[in-house]
A and B are shown apart, each in its own frame.
Chain A
């Protein structure tokens, strides 16, 4: 079978080119690790102020894992909070605890709140019917977390690297003249596109499995749903990256021109895929998101990984991704007409 020959050849080439293979697998892992370290590094030790807390209570508090400073009054604590010497201060009014946070950095907010919960645990019996009051000096509790945009980044890096490698390898097929040679054989144009898609698809499946496994089980990215869905989404996303990369390579004359597509085609996707709040995006730009494959993949990945949803909530996004791939494949076949009419 001619397509099989094409698939075997592509896989052989990938395996032979160790560096590219490493790039496809280890580069996303490396970048995700760095992001993980930047956003989810060692647990932060918050600077906490205790304002006029009765000694009887303070001895019961669990004050580990924080740097503690005592204040006479809330005013003094607040001025230290403004100058960012404190991350938050705790005070008791009528035996009810309340916390005031500096609030501009979501990761710091998280650690302060986690610390407070721990610190108050020993008092819980006495406080059962009293809700703790949380106040923010700046910002609010609605700010994003790594867990929230992790799925988008996972999708983005898979997309980015598959797009680049597939595009460049098809470009090379063109510039070295092997495409011309393929077209002087009885190979049909759709067989070339199908061969490329399957050949890279097989490799992409391995790549997606390793990267998703690494992000979830080694980096501990939040994972509420089923791993199988994550694989399915990343696979379909890679297919769209693959077919788009091959398509755009028809419009590039060398590797550098292929790289020029990155800021034009790949990077903008990350802005419109939900890494930043889509509701706050300028209205005259909001139509861009639904035109990009990453938009649907990010939504589906987030539904699975963050919200723990299943098939019902993601199948529409998957269909759209599949539609993108099919569209790009048809355009690819049309683009090959430039080289042979039949």
Chain B
């Protein structure tokens, strides 16, 4: 599609926990500046893939390359933003203190840090809850704060594991608009989801079932190839149903 090196290059990756194989020979390239969706039911292996890309897991076989460097690498961590499925937040601290802590981990300081903290809170529309204890946040607010934290250090690659679970449709729309903005500024975004209508908003999709990547392409391509009316039917067609 273009001549740039892929941001993410997954090569023949398999992963087993004991006897249980969760990823089977996955090959995937993700190109700069796209929103790539990993679509599949829970337990399909989406989280295992993104955890490997975030450096938390290593493949049993094969390699993962990010920005043309083999993962895991500590100096790459600064260029990756990761948001896990669980809202990894400190409930006893305020949103501001949470942001301050994570910003410091990424080496942000002084005015720049304060500015970034404000910016990311604006992106997720939480500015008025800046000084509230996270303990008092609703589930959706925590999800958004979690997202804000992953944006703090302006990562070139953003990996989001189920980012919009529990967020109401209006805010979800706003968050997707934010993803588009980030994308326009050159950020590559990987999103896992099992919500089909969200999948439609991605530039390209990878469909996963039982640890195997069964199809990759833009939502339009996938629908055309299977002559399906929507992504859900396309998924079923690829899955052999």
Contact = CB atoms under 8 A, between A and B. Distances in A.
Interface of A: 2, 4-6, 8-9, 12-13, 16-17, 176-188, 339-342
A138 to B, nearest CB: 56
A339 B74 CA distance: 14
Contacts of B56: 180, 183-184, 339-340
A333 B88 CA distance: 21
A342 B90 contact: no
Contact of A9 (B73, B77, B85, B97): B97
Contact of B74 (A8, A9, A188): A188
B69 to A, nearest CB: 12
Interface SS majority for chain A: helix
Interface stretch (B34-42, B102-110, B176-184): B102-110
B97 A340 contact: no
A186 B105 contact: yes
Given A4-B104, A5-B101, A184-B55, A177 B75 contact: no
Interface string B84-117: 1111111011000100111011110000000000
Interface string B55-82: 1101000000000000011110110101
Contacts, number: 78
B105 A177 contact: no
Given A186-B75, A188-B74, A341-B72, A181 B88 contact: yes
A132 to B, nearest CB: 63
A121 B107 CA distance: 75
Contacts of A342: 55, 72-74
A188 B104 CA distance: 14
B145 interface: no
B89 A178 contact: yes
B202 to A, nearest CB: 22
A186 B84 contact: no
B73 to A, nearest CB: 7
A12 to B, nearest CB: 6
Given A2-B107, A17-B92, A12 B97 contact: yes
A178 B105 contact: no
B54 interface: yes
A180 B75 contact: no
Contacts of A2: 104-105, 107
6 contacts: A177-B87, A178-B88, A178-B89, A183-B56, A184-B77, A185-B77
Contacts of B77: 184-186
Contacts of A5: 100-101, 104-105
A216 B92 CA distance: 34
A184 B86 contact: no
Interface string B112-132: 000000000000000000000
A121 to B, nearest CB: 61
Nearest to A185: B105
Nearest to A189: B74
B84 A180 contact: yes
B106 A176 contact: no
Contacts of A179: 88
A342 B55 CA distance: 9
B88 A176 contact: yes
Contact of B105 (A187, A339, A341): A187
Contacts of A181: 82, 84, 88, 102, 149
Given A181-B82, A184-B82, 4 more contacts: A9-B93, A16-B93, A16-B133, A17-B92
B166 to A, nearest CB: 15
B109 to A, nearest CB: 10
B75 to A, nearest CB: 7
Contact of A340 (B72, B93, B101): B72
